[in-house]
Chain A
């Protein structure tokens, strides 16, 4: 048939060098197969029959090629908003937190709402990278990198708020139990201190997980830059006088970050082990961080705050809000970046919509339990918080915004049509983000604004400083995310390749394994399934 060595043909095919010119991508009945509901079939996780070479080219291309035209304006806008937020923080530090709308009665409001909101956003990233990894959910490979990045950025935004809320921001270091001349120690019995430990542990582990996962991909970027330099095919000269090439900078920076990664089998082995260990360590973190955040409220005896379901309820809410944010980021990215939709398919969107529906109902379950037990407990004040101060009263609009956004709006995801319509999913994700912000606002402000005596009743209204610092945190978040999209590998390249059909040693080539018969059901099967079948 051919004089070439068969291994050479296979190697060429895998590298994408010998792809057949014409190939029917879609089955007439099942389309691209993404949305097939057949319980016996695993839908393809990467579309358009991408080869290994193409995967590398596409993912590295996002970091290597000039960014799309919208990128710079978007970045400048986000950065500008972040700067504006920074200015307001500066004003706050100079003037004092009296510039916020806080008062004697409502001494926690926007700041802590924003803190809990942002901390919650991060949880989806940890869930995707840790728990879905342990559950062997292969669809996570397309979204884990960006979700983990989002986690880090959300934690950065979150950490700002308690930091500036303390009033004397220059004494923030005293949050940590550092020995000092005055023998002043933080109160170890206070959940607020546990927050410091929980959030800093969370930030550290998430950062390690994210960074460690990126090392092989950073090495790929390094090697590609290096290769272009050697071929003298490097990018433009950065400075006309000093002959620095962009690729030289890339090779240096990515090389530094990739910690001497050489793609050896030994490196991969260590990588896999470390990944699993980090996934194991991160899993309790998914639960612990927001549980401790919930302790901030639930350990108190404030009606509406003290209820035992708070820890899992906060965790479910965090995952709920986090997935909404992942969708808010990835749906536009899918539309704006070339080939992005090959990796983040409609199935991915649908799966995330299902998780939003599930966690939304968990949150709804918790709302119902709170209400029920507030009545069942027989405590007048507890019931009044729910009945008079939340469902009715001056903040009823906030409560009903929360209910309609968090409990009612995700219900449209019972329909497959809605789950697979990116516009519908985007709209619901947007509503959920609003609803989850209001959830924290409702919990914090409505419980505080009316104490036992009517003389202690006071409303909270935000000032422009409140609002602008929150808006600024969105600017920071988006700035960091846009930088990530431009400069770092947006997908885990090796993981994407592992879910391609040709990753199987028994894959039998193009045109056969695609959309028809036996091969189709094996899209998601890994090596050993096939190996085993042979053995049997």
Chain B
């Protein structure tokens, strides 16, 4: 690829030809302002995650293994969505030469670097279901269905080697991309070489394609294939919308947590919050657009093979979850986040971010949990069966582990990529309206 190298022609910006504004003496970039001391929150969060995980396992042993497995998967898929959101925004800001985001770039990198770990979490359920439970959730793994006509049509896709091979491929993609971005960024911290940013920009261009494909197909494999009869071309975009939505929310929460500890003063300002809030708002609307389009087209055409999926989720108590998502995932945040003051105030925005992650959890529950109810006759009324604590435990396990690891990664390196070539622009970033 000769074009690849032409995009990386560093001879045109050897330091010295053009001198960038020097921000190294900026008080905002002082060491104590951009480094975490101690990892107590991380340990605590991981502890909470572990306790929740144990609670989920206990739930599985005592109440229902499907229920526990589904709940764990809900938490894992939420964590994966957040980290993939980080990977997406990291590449998107790099590709668009965004200036304002230079101060939060490191946080995005930290989030992205969790993608392979969260991917492993999300891979546990299918592996367990395949090896131990023999398709208690993923119906296609169930030997009972092996003679199903529809399944026989798509059997190639569900060959164990192919299915788990794909899974490994996603993990490799996320691991490789995040590792490359983080390694370059840390190298830039040491050398200040801004051509590394250009290299990352180029990697992000094809990395984005791999990200798009891996998000779409991991959503097919880990969420849609629960019910092998169901299919929707929008599915990948739907999960991506959730990724971007919850990714921005996780970023806001971690930023606010750091600011509460007196860090990132003058680095991540209200101006950055404003922009993060705008993105949160934008992806609230984008998710609603995608979710509505998918639901509406299936509802309007009314073909049984597609509507079955929604019909199962609009009865047995799940319909309340459906309406909760309509209001809570879209209408409420839409009406709240539209206000400028909400977006610029850390506390208000963090509340909305927490709300967003809750909604992402409910969205995952809406997709995953009814499957356990469908497969397990005695748990038909799953939502009202008094064992909501298992759902809570599963979700908390995934989220707490994610944030615990996130904090740990944040503590291991400076919070800001100080030598980002657009640092001056980001530090002085302003929204005029």
What's the least CB distance linking A286 to chain B, in Å? 11
Partner of B13, one of A38, A135, A416: A38
Docked pose: A42 CA to B426 CA in angstroms: 13
Please tell me if the beta carbons of A300 and B301 are within 8 angstroms of each other in the complex: yes
Partner of B428, one of A311, A416, A517, A528: A528
Please tell me if the beta carbons of A29 and B293 are within 8 angstroms of each other in the complex: no
Residues 276-325 (chain B) with a chain A CB within 8 angstroms: 278, 285, 289-290, 293-294, 296-298, 300-301, 303, 305
Q: Does A208 contact B (CB under 8 A)?
A: no
Please tell me if the beta carbons of B433 and A291 are within 8 angstroms of each other in the complex: no
Report A-chain residues with C-beta under 8 Å of the C-beta of B385: none
Report B-chain residues with C-beta under 8 Å of the C-beta of A366: 233
Q: Smallest CB-CB separation from B4: which chain A residue?
A: A414
Report B-chain residues with C-beta under 8 Å of the C-beta of A38: 12-13, 18, 194, 198, 421
Report A-chain residues with C-beta under 8 Å of the C-beta of B294: 308
Please tell me if the beta carbons of A301 and B26 are within 8 angstroms of each other in the complex: no
Please tell me if the beta carbons of B231 and A529 are within 8 angstroms of each other in the complex: no
Report A-chain residues with C-beta under 8 Å of the C-beta of B220: 376
Q: Does A299 contact B (CB under 8 A)?
A: yes
Please tell me if the beta carbons of B231 and A377 are within 8 angstroms of each other in the complex: yes
Known: A369-B236, A373-B231. A416 touches B3 (CB 8 A): yes
Report A-chain residues with C-beta under 8 Å of the C-beta of B205: 414
Partner-binding segment picked from A122-130, A486-494, A518-526: A518-526
Docked pose: A373 CA to B154 CA in angstroms: 10
Q: Does A266 contact B (CB under 8 A)?
A: no
Q: Smallest CB-CB separation from A311: which chain B residue?
A: B293
Report B-chain residues with C-beta under 8 Å of the C-beta of A295: 296-297, 300
What's the least CB distance linking B267 to chain A, in Å? 13
Report A-chain residues with C-beta under 8 Å of the C-beta of B421: 38-40
Report A-chain residues with C-beta under 8 Å of the C-beta of B96: 135
Q: Does A370 contact B (CB under 8 A)?
A: yes
Q: Does A533 contact B (CB under 8 A)?
A: yes
Partner of B18, one of A307, A370, A520: A520
Please tell me if the beta carbons of B231 and A39 are within 8 angstroms of each other in the complex: no
Q: Does B411 contact A (CB under 8 A)?
A: no
Known: A308-B293, A311-B293. A37 touches B26 (CB 8 A): no
Please tell me if the beta carbons of B194 and A40 are within 8 angstroms of each other in the complex: yes
Please tell me if the beta carbons of B6 and A287 are within 8 angstroms of each other in the complex: no
Report B-chain residues with C-beta under 8 Å of the C-beta of A337: none
User: What is the size, in residues, of chain A's interface with B at 8 Å between Cβ atoms?
Assistant: 58
Partner of B232, one of A135, A287, A373, A532: A373
Report A-chain residues with C-beta under 8 Å of the C-beta of B213: 365
Q: Does B384 contact A (CB under 8 A)?
A: no
Docked pose: A361 CA to B211 CA in angstroms: 13
Interface size of B as a range: 35 or more
Partner of B216, one of A306, A369, A416, A418: A369
Report A-chain residues with C-beta under 8 Å of the C-beta of B303: 301, 306
Q: Smallest CB-CB separation from A536: which chain B residue?
A: B26
Q: Smallest CB-CB separation from A284: which chain B residue?
A: B285
Q: Does B44 contact A (CB under 8 A)?
A: no
Partner of A376, one of B7, B231, B296, B432: B231
Report A-chain residues with C-beta under 8 Å of the C-beta of B236: 369
Q: Does A506 contact B (CB under 8 A)?
A: no
Partner of B153, one of A309, A378, A520: A378
**Is chain A's interface secondary structure helix, strand, loop, or mixed overall?**
helix
What's the least CB distance linking B230 to chain A, in Å? 9
Partner of B212, one of A37, A365, A525: A365
Report B-chain residues with C-beta under 8 Å of the C-beta of A291: 289, 293
Q: Does B234 contact A (CB under 8 A)?
A: yes
Residues 265-291 (chain A) with a chain B CB within 8 angstroms: 272-273, 276, 284, 287, 291
Q: Does A200 contact B (CB under 8 A)?
A: no
Report A-chain residues with C-beta under 8 Å of the C-beta of B298: 308
Please tell me if the beta carbons of B153 and A39 are within 8 angstroms of each other in the complex: no
Q: Smallest CB-CB separation from B234: which chain A residue?
A: A308
Q: Smallest CB-CB separation from A30: which chain B residue?
A: B12
Digit string of B1-41 for contact with A (CB within 8 Å is 1, else 0)?
11110111100110001111100001000000000000000
Q: Does A24 contact B (CB under 8 A)?
A: no
Q: Smallest CB-CB separation from B419: which chain A residue?
A: A40
Please tell me if the beta carbons of B433 and A521 are within 8 angstroms of each other in the complex: no
Q: Does B209 contact A (CB under 8 A)?
A: yes
Report B-chain residues with C-beta under 8 Å of the C-beta of A2: none
Please tell me if the beta carbons of A37 and B198 are within 8 angstroms of each other in the complex: yes
Known: A287-B289, A306-B297, A533-B428. A40 touches B20 (CB 8 A): yes
Report B-chain residues with C-beta under 8 Å of the C-beta of A532: 428, 430
Q: Does A95 contact B (CB under 8 A)?
A: no
Docked pose: A417 CA to B4 CA in angstroms: 11
Partner of B233, one of A37, A309, A533: A309
Known: A41-B13, A365-B212, A376-B154. A414 touches B18 (CB 8 A): no
Residues 83-104 (chain B) with a chain A CB within 8 angstroms: 96-97, 99
Among B7, B301, B430, which residue has the most Cβ atoms of chain A within 10 A? B301
Please tell me if the beta carbons of B237 and A312 are within 8 angstroms of each other in the complex: yes
Nearest first, the 10 closest Cβ-Cβ pairs linking A and B are A40-B421, A38-B13, A415-B3, A309-B233, A308-B234, A378-B153, A39-B197, A311-B293, A532-B428, A377-B231
Given contacts A37-B9, A273-B433, A309-B233, 13 further A-B contacts (CB under 8 A): A37-B198, A42-B99, A299-B297, A300-B301, A301-B301, A308-B232, A373-B232, A375-B154, A378-B149, A378-B154, A379-B305, A517-B19, A536-B428
- A sample of 20 cross-chain residue pairs with beta-carbon separation below 8 angstroms, ordered by A number, consists of A38-B13, A39-B197, A287-B289, A295-B296, A298-B297, A301-B303, A306-B303, A308-B293, A369-B216, A373-B233, A376-B157, A376-B220, A378-B153, A378-B231, A414-B4, A415-B3, A416-B6, A417-B3, A518-B21, A521-B18
